[in-house]
Amino acid sequence: MALEDIPATQRERLAYIEMRVRFLGECRRQDLLDRFTIQEAAATRDFAAYRLLAPNNLDFDSSRKCYLLGSKFKPLFDFPAERVLTWLSQGFGDGVPVRQRGYVPSELTPFISKPDMDALAAISRAIHKRSLLKIRYCSLTSGKSERVIAPFALADSGWRWHVRAFDRKSGQFRDFSLTRISSAKPLDELAHEEEGPERDIQWSRIVELELVPHPDNIRFPDAIESDLGMKNGCGYVQVRAAMTGYLLRLWNVDASPDHSLRGPEYQLWLRNTPALYGIQNLALAPGYLRQDNKENQHGDV
């Protein structure tokens, strides 16, 4: 039996099996029933068909009644990184990786930051299981090194994807760029309670930013107000403290207290700069200066 000989609807379900097993480490019949609204007999046939096509990709755990990632796993489907990251973060993008035309002419910015898929799979499985990983990482400040991390979330900075994790080497919560992780090896150890997201103050803290048209650079503020759907000349954005520096840089928000940055790229000004107190990755924020924050010590290392 060849993959191309299988009906398209069943191929979609087989792709879903592979995506769950590869990136979450497990898949149950109930997952297929919930996702595709099929009968149990059909789900059983799907697992049998997948195992016939790739006998080394699945191991059955009889005690948990689920299929696990096989030790000699080799993917049947070539999933684009964009689709996997969308599925992991938003729950969309299930099924066979096919290219479809849009309904109207449109263009998207090319996705140039593409992580190693095997490393991404190991990271997402570790997040799902809340287990530890040993990674090989290339840092801007210290070059190549090995680290043991406890990952708990993926985050899109607008340029590239990161994994938020506790880093045992530094003893701090940090952001690790996915494209700088060349290998990720799962460890048979669960993360400690103090290494989880509940203890990450920068991740747990929600900041409300007050964004207004730049007082000095914008001649017609109504245009900016329309872009952001502002009310009474102000847009209110809630964001995790750990993501604030990325957002301010991505949108070129002037974070100086006296809106002193000049240039057409600075169309927004942060009206409530005191809200940034205590945020650690503000070296990324345009115009924001603080003596104890000269380096981005807890951001993209």
As a whole number of angstroms, the distance between CA 1 and CA 146 comes to: 43
63 inside domain: yes
Instruction: Please report whether residue 283 resides in a domain.
Output: yes
Q: What is the pLDDT of residue 294?
A: 43
Whether 37 is in a domain gets the answer yes
Reported as a single tens digit per residue, the pLDDT across 283-297 is 889 998 753 444 444
Q: Torsion angle of alpha carbons 249, 251, 257, 258, nearest 10°?
A: 120
Does residue 276 sit in helix, strand or coil?
Answer: helix
Q: What does pTM read for this prediction? A: 0.85
Least confident of 125-134, 138-147, 263-272: 138-147
Ramachandran angles phi, psi of 39, nearest 5°:
-80, 160
CATH number of the domain residue 171 falls in: 2.30.30
pLDDT of residue 174: 96
For the chain, the domain total comes to 3
Which position has the token pair 């809200």? 275
Residue 300 lies in a domain: no
Please indicate, yes or no, whether residues 131 and 170 belong to a single structural domain of this protein. yes
Angle formed at CA 19 by CA 50 and CA 138, multiple of 5 degrees = 135
Q: Residues 7-33: pLDDT tens digits?
A: 999 999 999 999 999 999 999 999 999
Which helix (DSSP H) or strand (DSSP E) does residue 265 occupy?
none
Give dist(CA 76, CA 86) in Å, integer.
20
Tens-place pLDDT, residues 69-93: 999 999 999 988 888 888 888 876 6
Q: Which domain holds residue 138?
A: 117-201
Residues 13, 48 share a domain: yes
Choosing from 19, 50, 77, the residue where a domain stops is 77
Terminal C-alpha separation, the chain: 47
> Do 168 and 230 lie in a common domain?
no
Residue 140 to residue 176: CA distance in whole angstroms: 11
Same domain, 185 and 262: no
Is the same domain home to 128 and 192? yes
Q: Tell me whether residue 84 is in a domain.
A: no
Residue 196 sits in the same domain as residue 212: no
Angle of helix 81-90 relative to helix 8-24, nearest 10 degrees? 70
Residue 23 and residue 51 share a domain:
yes
More confident residue, 218 or 97: 218
Instruction: Give the pLDDT of residue 209.
Output: 97
Q: Which of 114, 106, 109 is nearest to 82 (CA)?
A: 114
Question: Helix 117-129 to helix 81-90 angle, to the nearest 10 degrees?
Answer: 10
DSSP secondary structure string for all residues of 17-33: HHHHHHHHSEE-HHHHH
Q: Are residues 284 and 249 in the same domain?
A: yes
Spatial separation of the C-alpha atoms in residues 267 and 253, rounded to whole Å: 7
Q: Are residues 289 and 209 in the same domain?
A: yes
CA separation, residue 199 to residues 80, 118, 268 (Å): 33, 28, 33
Tell me what pLDDT residue 26 has.
Answer: 95
Residue 59 domain-assigned (yes or no): yes
pLDDT tens-digit series, residues 34-60: 999 899 999 999 999 999 999 999 999
Report residue 209 as tokens: 């930013």
Helices and strands per DSSP (H, E), number in the chain = 8, 12
Tokens of 114: 């593409």
Cα gap 37→170, rounded to integer Å: 47
Looking at the predicted structure, is the pLDDT value of residue 235 above 70? yes
Q: Is residue 107 pLDDT above 70, yes or no? A: no
> Which residue among 138, 172, 201 closes a domain?
201
What CATH number should be reported for the domain holding residue 50? 1.10.10.10
- Domain termination residue (choose one: 77, 106, 127): 77
Residues 210 and 287 in one domain: yes
Query: What's the mean pLDDT when you consider all of the chain?
Result: 89
In-domain check, residue 17? yes
Residues 287 and 224 in one domain: yes
Q: Looking at the structure, do residues 13 and 38 belong to the same domain, yes or no?
A: yes
Place 108 in a pLDDT band, splitting at 50, 70 and 90: low
- Please tell me which residue, 190 or 101, carries the higher pLDDT value: 190
pLDDT at 298 over 80: no
**Which has more confidence, 160 or 165?**
165
Percent of the residues in the chain that have a pLDDT greater than 70, as a whole number: 90
Mean pLDDT confidence for 238-247: 96
- Does any domain span residue 189? yes
Residue 207: C-alpha distances to residues 126, 225, 240 (Å): 28, 21, 6
- In the prediction, which pLDDT does 99 show? 52
* Contacts within 8 Å (CB) and 24+ apart, 133-138: 133/165, 133/184, 133/185, 133/186, 133/187, 134/184, 134/185, 134/187, 135/176, 135/181, 135/183, 135/184, 135/185, 136/181, 136/182, 136/183, 136/184, 137/176, 137/180, 137/181, 137/182, 137/301, 138/180, 138/182
